[in-house]
């Protein structure tokens, strides 16, 4: 352990694992696109080629937060088991489509012992299928017009009883929850850019306080809040992120960096460089950040989510950081939190 590593270890109170090399990255949040063409083997071939191109040593594959088992895009962990069988050192799996559907189909007031037992059975099935975590689970998910008319709007109270139960299960099993949560600090009109999709409501209601109750419910539950650095509501600005990380030691975040922008919530500037306030934030919390592209791979390439430009931006972020923080954010934190084999 060098002097800088020792200093950071003493400063933050944890040991930061070193990555296999500073160049290797772990993408903790990616998907297969299985509609209109359902070709998971083709998605796998595409993912491997693009991972190799960008120095991504391993990816965590998960279903997006689907709200109906009848959707053409539906899949869960059992549909992806072949990926890990064929490439155990390149992929790990998260699962949770059935959990997300149950959460969004079940009114909070109707959750009883039978519903909780059914939810636990579904969570146990995800674990039995070989998951390293639960995800992608949505609390609040705005619909993005550029993602197509089927890109769902989803919203449930963050302190929904099944979400609190999932936190308890995650804490018990030491398995992180990958979470999609579009933050609304106070009531706000829907941003103009989101208005072309009629699935979105005209007004977004404040959801920060229920989210804090969710995080506080079981502080042993590791919550990975995805898509920091590029998100549609532009509310996850550095000061707000820092306040939440200070208040909730069980909260972690993964970067999605599709593009840069002038708003403080964008982690990179319009020229594609990491902003100073975001670098300072990462250096302040080096054990709390990871990479999560949100790329959707199909048989022809990346169909939506983060493009190869976004993957290049993740590489830029990593290379902008000093060691040992670079290795921690690139891969070491993911290895530690998801208990991945080297």
Which tens digits make up the pLDDT trace of 290-319? 999 999 999 999 999 899 999 999 999 999
**Per-residue confidence (pLDDT) for residue 75, from 0 to 100:** 95
Task: Please identify which residue in the block is written with the tokens 């600005």.
Answer: 237
Please tell me the chain's helix, strand, coil percentages from 3-state DSSP, rounded to the nearest 5: 40, 20, 40
Determine the straight-line distance between the first and last CA of the chain, rounded to whole angstroms.
19
Q: Supply the pTM of this predicted model.
A: 0.92
Q: Which of 4-13, 198-207, 264-273, 322-331 has the least mean pLDDT?
A: 4-13
Q: Is the pLDDT of residue 150 over 80?
A: no
Average pLDDT over residues 110-136: 98
Average pLDDT over residues 84-88: 98
CA distance 282 to 117: 40
**Per-residue confidence (pLDDT) for residue 147, from 0 to 100:** 76
Nearest to 162 by CA among 191, 119, 127, 195: 119
Q: Is the pLDDT of residue 3 over 80?
A: no
Q: Is the pLDDT of residue 1 over 80?
A: no
Average pLDDT over residues 194-208: 94
DSSP letter at 192 equals G
Q: Is the pLDDT of residue 17 over 50?
A: no
Residue 149: pLDDT band (50, 70, 90) is low
| Helices of type H across the chain | 3-12, 40-54, 81-86, 97-105, 113-128, 161-173, 208-217, 238-247, 276-284, 308-319, 325-327, 333-338
Q: Is the pLDDT of residue 174 over 70?
A: yes
**Per-residue confidence (pLDDT) for residue 201, from 0 to 100:** 95
Q: Is the pLDDT of residue 11 over 70?
A: no
Alpha-carbon torsion (122, 76, 86, 90), positive or negative: negative
**Per-residue confidence (pLDDT) for residue 23, from 0 to 100:** 62
Residue 341: pLDDT band (50, 70, 90) is confident
Average pLDDT over residues 144-148: 80
**Per-residue confidence (pLDDT) for residue 71, from 0 to 100:** 84
Task: Please identify which residue in the block is written with the tokens 């005209």.
Answer: 202
DSSP letter at 268 equals B
Q: Is the pLDDT of residue 21 over 60?
A: no
User: Is 136:62 a contact under the CB 8 Å cutoff?
Assistant: yes
Residue 73: pLDDT band (50, 70, 90) is confident
> DSSP states of 237-260 as a string?
-HHHHHHHHHH-TTEEEEE--S--
Query: Average model confidence (pLDDT) for the chain?
Result: 92
Strand duo 223-228 + 177-181: pairing: parallel
């Amino acid at each position: 352990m060098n002097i800088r590593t020792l200093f950071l270890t003493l400063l933050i109170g944890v040991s930061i694992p070193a990555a296999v090399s500073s160049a290797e990255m772990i993408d903790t949040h990616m998907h297969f696109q299985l509609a209109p063409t359902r070709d998971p083997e083709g998605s796998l071939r595409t993912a491997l080629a693009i991972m190799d191109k960008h120095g991504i040593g391993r990816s965590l594959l998960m279903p997006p937060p689907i709200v109906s088992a009848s959707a053409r895009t539906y899949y869960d962990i059992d549909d992806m088991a072949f990926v890990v069988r064929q490439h155990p050192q390149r992929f790990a799996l998260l699962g949770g489509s059935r959990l997300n559907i149950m959460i969004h189909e079940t009114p909070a007031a109707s959750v009883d012992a039978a519903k909780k037992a059914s939810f636990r059975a579904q969570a146990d099935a995800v674990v039995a299928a070989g998951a390293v975590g639960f995800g992608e689970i949505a609390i609040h998910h705005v619909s993005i017009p550029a993602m197509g008319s089927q890109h769902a709007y989803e919203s449930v109270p963050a302190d929904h009883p099944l979400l609190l139960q999932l936190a308890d299960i995650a804490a018990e099993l030491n398995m992180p929850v990958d979470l999609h949560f579009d933050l609304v600090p106070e009531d706000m009109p829907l941003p103009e850019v989101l208005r072309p999709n009629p699935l979105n409501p005209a007004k977004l209601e404040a959801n920060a306080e229920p989210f804090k109750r969710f995080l506080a419910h079981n502080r042993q539950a590791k919550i990975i809040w995805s898509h920091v650095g590029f998100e549609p509501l532009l509310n996850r600005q550095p000061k707000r992120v820092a306040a939440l990380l200070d208040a909730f030691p069980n909260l972690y975040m993964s970067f999605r960096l599709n593009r840069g922008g002038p708003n403080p919530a964008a982690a990179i500037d319009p020229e594609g460089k990491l902003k100073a306030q975001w670098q300072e934030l990462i250096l302040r919390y080096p054990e709390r950040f990871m990479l999560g592209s949100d790329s959707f791979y199909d048989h022809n390439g990346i169909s939506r989510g983060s493009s190869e430009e976004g993957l290049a931006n993740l590489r830029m972020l990593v290379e902008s950081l000093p060691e040992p923080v670079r290795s921690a954010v690139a891969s070491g934190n993911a290895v530690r939190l998801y208990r991945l084999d080297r």
